[in-house]
């Protein structure tokens, strides 16, 4: 499937806020209460927050587009705050990879992942790492295909009052 991938700018804030809410909702609805979901969507993907992130030159958002319409997105960042042990290496966190559900299973995610790995190589990263919900089987299978492995580390990723656990996966490039 033919798509374009480009870095998001401030002008994309509304699009990014909307697709972030939609994809997070579609992925995790039913795993927490509706109240928790509504609070989470507003807390993390509100327009002001998304604009703040887009204004940060170290925060890399990319949109996957087809015919000018956003159908998925990526968020990459060199950020060690969630797992300081990653400071041992030059590490790139794949903070998000989300594709609208009607475009899953069509190679869009693969193009976003290829883009990520190329970005990591071009910028001399030694490792790419990411967090995935322990029960998100589809995403885990997808990451496995790219050679990501469980690092042995987890972290709490509650959605409101609903406790959830994410696994940190990593892939070394050197
Ligand atoms: C994770 C994601 C980016 C993967 O993209 P995708 O286009 O779905 O990728 P694929 O179609 O290659 O699917 C990955 C694998 O999971 C399998 N799969 C499909 N549905 C599944 C399901 N319900 N449960 C488990 N595995 C499933 C596919 O068959 C495929 O494996 P295969 O190639 O061996 O057949 C995409 O599904 C997505 O955006 N999901 C919602 C957001 C999300 O979970 N993001 C990751 C957060 S950590």
The DSSP secondary-structure symbol of 126 reads: S
Per residue in 75-99, pLDDT (tens digit) is 999 999 999 999 999 999 999 999 9
Which residues are CB-neighbours of 65 under 8 A, at least 6 positions away? 3, 4, 5, 6, 71
- The CATH number of the domain holding residue 60 is 3.40.630.30
Per residue in 115-172, pLDDT (tens digit) is 999 999 999 999 999 999 999 999 999 999 999 999 999 999 889 888 999 999 999 9
pLDDT greater than 90 at residue 1: no
Q: Which residue from 138, 144, 167 has its CB within 8 A of the most atoms of ligand 1, so it is best to mutate? A: 138
The structural domain count of the chain equals 1
Per residue in 56-67, pLDDT (tens digit) is 999 999 999 999
pTM surpassing 0.85? Answer: yes
pLDDT greater than 90 at residue 39: yes
Which residues are CB-neighbours of 98 under 8 A, at least 6 positions away? 19, 20, 23, 24, 27, 72, 73
| CB of 1 sitting under 6 A from ligand 1 | no
Alpha carbon distance, N-terminus to C-terminus of the chain: 31
Domain that holds residue 121: 4-172
Share of the chain above pLDDT 70, in %: 100
Token pair for 70: 């956003």
C-alpha dist (Å) from residue 39 to 6, 67, 164, 165: 30, 32, 16, 19
How far is ligand 1, taken at its centre, from the CA of residue 100, in Å? 11
| CB of 28 sitting under 6 A from ligand 1 | no
Give pLDDT, residue 160.
Answer: 87
| CB of 98 sitting under 6 A from ligand 1 | yes
């Amino acid at each position: 499937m033919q798509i374009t991938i480009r870095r998001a700018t401030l002008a994309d804030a509304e699009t990014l806020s909307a697709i972030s809410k939609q994809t997070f909702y579609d992925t995790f609805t039913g795993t927490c209460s509706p109240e928790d979901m509504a609070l989470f969507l507003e807390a993390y993907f509100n327009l002001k927050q998304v604009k703040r992130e887009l204004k940060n030159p170290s925060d890399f958002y990319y949109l996957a587009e087809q015919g000018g319409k956003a159908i998925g997105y990526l968020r990459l960042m060199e950020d060690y705050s969630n797992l300081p042990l990653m400071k041992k290496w030059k590490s790139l966190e794949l903070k998000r990879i989300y594709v609208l559900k009607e475009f899953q299973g069509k190679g869009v995610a693969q193009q976003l992942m290829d883009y990520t790995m190329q970005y990591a190589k071009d910028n001399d990263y030694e490792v790419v790492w990411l967090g995935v919900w322990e029960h998100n089987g589809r995403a885990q299978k997808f990451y496995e295909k790219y050679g990501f492995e469980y690092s042995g580390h987890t972290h709490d990723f509650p959605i409101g009052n609903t406790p959830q656990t994410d696994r940190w996966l990593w892939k070394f490039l050197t």
